[in-house]
Amino acid sequence: MAAEHVEETLMTELPQEGTATEEPSLSELKEMLVDIQITVSNILTENKRLSSEMSELKSTVTKQNTEITNLKTSLAKPEKKAEKEMTTLRNRLNDQQEVIYELYELQDRLEQYTRKNSLEIYGVPESAYESPEEVVMKIAEALEVPVQPNDIEIVHKLKRKVNKPIIVKFLSHKVKSKLYKSRAKLRNRSASNLFPTSTAAIHA
């Protein structure tokens, strides 16, 4: 009996096959439409909010990109300026080095030209003469080379602690050359012949 009661209940609760369902009423449809409109309105509002936030985000990103670009530009300017200054300094240094080389070369030429008319005389003690000119004139006389005081441009003792040599510069290279070529006559010759107070040998 219990099984038959359950079967009967199921048969009464389940709709029969082919039976039409009940259509919603007009008021129910209106309520559904209102719910749909509210949902769509909320979605549109949310979309507007998201769109506004997206626009603000894009504006912020654009502003940051502009700032980064400006920063890169501002950083690049000092680098370019420093590089330009370094190039200028290098060029100036190269120019100065060229000038220094030219001055060295000019100085060397000048020294060579100066030495061209100059002679150094060694071996005459300072106590043996009163002036360097006296040494030059006596050596010229011993070498039988005519030298006049006005043939000498300058003559002085070099700065040495012991046995200071004498350097003489002649106005004429010809006079200097004659003395230099005749220097062999002084070889092994005592300075006492020219300077009685000296016993050293003279070398020119």
pTM: 0.42
- Residue 149 falls within a domain, yes or no? yes
- Residue 187 falls within a domain, yes or no? yes
pLDDT tens column, 12-24: 444 555 555 567 7
Distance, first Cα to last Cα, the chain? 161
Q: pLDDT band for 176, please (50, 70, 90 cuts).
A: confident
Residues spanned by the domain of 71: 63-116
- 107 and 123 part of one domain: no
Which residue, of 116, 144, 159, is where some domain finishes?
116
Mean pLDDT of 177-198: 75
Which residue, of 78, 95, 116, is where some domain finishes?
116
Q: Contact 192/121 with Cβ under 8 angstroms?
A: no
Q: Residue 189's pLDDT is what?
A: 67
128 closest CA partner among 183, 204, 187, 194: 194
Q: pLDDT band for 203, please (50, 70, 90 cuts).
A: low
- 108 and 126 part of one domain: no
Q: With the C-alpha atoms ordered 169, 172, 174, 178, is the resulting torsion angle positive or negative?
A: negative
Which residue, of 116, 135, 150, is where some domain finishes?
116
Two tokens at 173?
A: 């290279």
Instruction: Residue 127: give its domain's CATH number.
Output: 3.30.70
- Residue 92 falls within a domain, yes or no? yes
Mean pLDDT, the chain, as a whole number? Answer: 77
- Residue 142 falls within a domain, yes or no? yes
* Domains of the chain: total: 2
pLDDT tens column, 51-104: 888 888 888 888 888 888 888 777 777 777 788 888 888 888 888 887 886 776
Q: What is the DSSP letter of 128?
A: G
**Residue 189 parent element (H or E):** none
d(CA 121, CA 138): 12
d(CA 194, CA 144): 13
Q: Residue 112's pLDDT is what?
A: 59
- 78 and 122 part of one domain: no
Whether residue 3 has pLDDT greater than 50: no
- Residue 137 falls within a domain, yes or no? yes
- 71 and 131 part of one domain: no
- Residue 53 falls within a domain, yes or no? no
